[in-house]
Structure 1
Amino acid sequence: MPRLRTPLADDMLPAVFSRTEAAAAGVTVERLRAPDVRSVVRGLYARADAEILESDVVAALTKNDPRVAACGPTASRLWGFPQKIGARAWKFTDPASRIHLTNSTVRRRNTKKLRWRSLDLTASDVAEVGDARLTSRVRTWLDLAATLSTDDLTEIGDHLVRMPRAMFEGRSSPHATLDQLRQAVLHHHGRGALRLRHSLEDIRIGSDSPAETRLRLGVLRSGLPVPLLNTAIRDDGIWLGEPDLSWPQWKVCVEHEGPTHLTKKQQEEDIGRTELRNAEGWIEVRTVAKDLRNSCARGTERIATALRRHGWQG
């Protein structure tokens, strides 16, 4: 009769674990060969039925080698940076998924799942997030310049410097200041340095989402007046909210209808807000994803029409 295997309890080992951690928990090498355990990457394992998250693999890799940190696209995803339009969610089972890592001293060979870069990092370039070690937010932004466009970098820059809404996000300070980004770009001489400098010229405090950033850039490049960004507006003492973009001089504002506007409660609030603004003589342009295509051509034309209706001479 075959010997029964002792199940690996959820609290026995982390989601992704090394052979050393397994041995410390009393799990033998023979037990790791059982069908209910799978090899993740060389030297790392997980329960066969467990969902493997990128953060779990990074935590295991960086915990076992203090010289290793996640970088590039991996650090970008783990920091929650805006991802380029069309980017797929990371899944370990996807053959195209890669974890991007840097090692400060030893040159490593790439594998199907691991991509290694040699980066010269300072202590401030690295951050501990939970059990994982990553390049810092600002350093990650710099490194992404090797592959991202100027506008992609601007979206991330806007994300880093935006003032958070403390009651929803649990923080009151931005991830970085404009001055920190300027200093970082000033001392960066790697690939994409020119794109970073151009991006820095376009980064502004006030855009709350990548869509708002793209719309703002489209507005400026089409020759429309510079808008206020998420700025509170009052008309005759009446509170009219904080539209994504606004031109109080012409009583025109823009709200972008993203995924957070799809709930019944939010839609009811949006309708009430629109009616209030209309009653005070404002035009509210509500944009959707289609308005952002082709450099926001449709969106900027709709905004221009509204501005001209209220006296803009452009």
Structure 2
Amino acid sequence: MPRHIPLPRDLLEHPFSVAEGEARGIGRGRLRGQDLARPFHGVRLADLALPPDPPAALLTLCAAYQRRCPAGHFFSHVTAAALWGAPLPPAMAHRPLDVSVLKPHALPRANGVIGHRLADERVRVVERTGVRVADPASTWCQLGPLLAFDDLVAAGDHLVLKPIVSARGDPRPHISLPQLLERASAARAPGAARLRTAAALVRVGAESRPETVLRLALMRAGLPEPLLNAPIHDARGRLLGYGDLVYPAHRVIVEYNGGQHRTDEAQFEKDVTRVEDFRADGWTVVEVRKGGLFRQRAGTVERVRWALGA
């Protein structure tokens, strides 16, 4: 005899409520089985349903909460930012779910949830990947008091980005830069001045958090503002690729190299070839790695300063 009565396949693949299980003829004893997680009261989750990939795991957890919450609840703040794909500092990875309601609804209360009750009439609730979430502009404004300044700008850069290669089924940008600026200028909550300062530094073109942090570091050091992900053509008009941070007048490109060589060998080889082509065409390329950006930033700034002066 098997240890547990097998569940229907669809219940193995997705969160389900206790009421759904009972309606399918599953007894209360089986619903208390040790192979079923209980992420929220009245919700069950089979081990197979929780993906190892963090974004997919977050989406599954949100779907589990949505199985048991009132219709007025929606995801906001850091949770909404993650659902919109915004780059967030690692410390935010284990934060409870941010769940909001609009006044006068009751404040959400549940284990594993940070409840918010919002008075901002500009907040719109939209559906993204099957769950209810605050609109991008509202989400970004909610991040104002929660993120470090550079991370706030990086989140804005992500929301306004139109990628060189768009993901299928995920049209970008999530919001236009003028819309983000307008929303920041209208903010009146505590921290509104910080939002406006950050919004003024949001740019279209940064494809990663390190690129944003690097750009801001160079600008704070008094260096010119670079173009972001600008196309580089040779003398015959052939596209050599896109440079992360580009100074056309100085023929200098600053490239941030992440961990592609450990996670994506094909992409790493492509990036190496692209940088070689830039240099062969007469561009000075300053390559920056994680240590140079986050631990030896002053030295990195001086390398770029020297390249521009040379």
Query: What TM-score comes out, normalization by structure 1 length?
Result: 0.85
1:154-303 alignment runs, 5 A limit: 154-166=153-165, 168=167, 173-239=172-238, 240-260=240-260, 262=262, 263-293=264-294, 296-303=297-304
SS of match in other structure, 1:102: strand
Task: Kindly state the Cα deviation for residue 11 of structure 1 after the two structures are TM-superposed.
Answer: 1.2
Structure-2 separation of matches of 1:71 and 1:9: 33
What code does the residue aligned with 1:245 have?
L
> Could you give the per-residue CA deviations for residues 115-145 of structure 1, whole angstroms, max 9, x where no partner exists?
2111136586211123311112221111111
For structure 1, the residue ranges without an aligned partner over 5 or more in a row are 91-96, 310-314
The equivalent position to 2:100 in structure 1, one of 96, 99, 102, is 102
SS of match in other structure, 1:80: coil
| Counterpart residue number, 2:74 | 69
1:36-115 alignment runs, 5 A limit: 36-47=35-46, 50-51=49-50, 53-64=57-68, 65-84=70-89, 86-87=90-91, 89-90=93-94, 97-104=95-102, 105-108=104-107, 110-115=109-114
Distance change in 2, residues 1:51/1:183 (3 Å): same
For structure 2, the residue ranges without an aligned partner over 5 or more in a row are 52-56
Distance change in 2, residues 1:165/1:278 (3 Å): closer
Distance change in 2, residues 1:295/1:76 (3 Å): farther
> Could you give the per-residue CA deviations for residues 25-46 of structure 1, whole angstroms, max 9, x where no partner exists?
2223333223333422222222
| Counterpart residue number, 2:305 | 304
Deviates more, 1:241-250 or 1:101-110: 101-110
Structure-2 separation of matches of 1:215 and 1:4: 55
SS of match in other structure, 2:219: helix
RMSD: 2.7
Distance change in 2, residues 1:124/1:245 (3 Å): same
> Could you give the per-residue CA deviations for residues 191-225 of structure 1, whole angstroms, max 9, x where no partner exists?
32121101011111111111111111111111112
SS of match in other structure, 2:243: coil
Aligned residues: 301
What code does the residue aligned with 2:232 have?
I
Distance change in 2, residues 1:218/1:255 (3 Å): same
| Counterpart residue number, 1:94 | none
What code does the residue aligned with 1:286 have?
E
Distance change in 2, residues 1:235/1:66 (3 Å): same
Structure-2 separation of matches of 1:68 and 1:87: 25
| Counterpart residue number, 2:54 | none
Distance change in 2, residues 1:131/1:14 (3 Å): farther
| Counterpart residue number, 2:134 | 135
Deviates more, 1:99-108 or 1:224-233: 99-108
SS of match in other structure, 1:243: strand
* 1:164/1:171 contact within 8 Å kept: no
Query: What TM-score comes out, normalization by structure 2 length?
Result: 0.86
> Could you give the per-residue CA deviations for residues 60-112 of structure 1, whole angstroms, max 9, x where no partner exists?
3334421111111211222211012x33644xxxxxx5122113344346454
Distance change in 2, residues 1:220/1:295 (3 Å): farther
* Paired-residue identity, %: 32
Structure-2 separation of matches of 1:283 and 1:98: 45
* 1:245/1:253 contact within 8 Å kept: yes
Distance change in 2, residues 1:172/1:48 (3 Å): closer
Distance change in 2, residues 1:295/1:156 (3 Å): farther
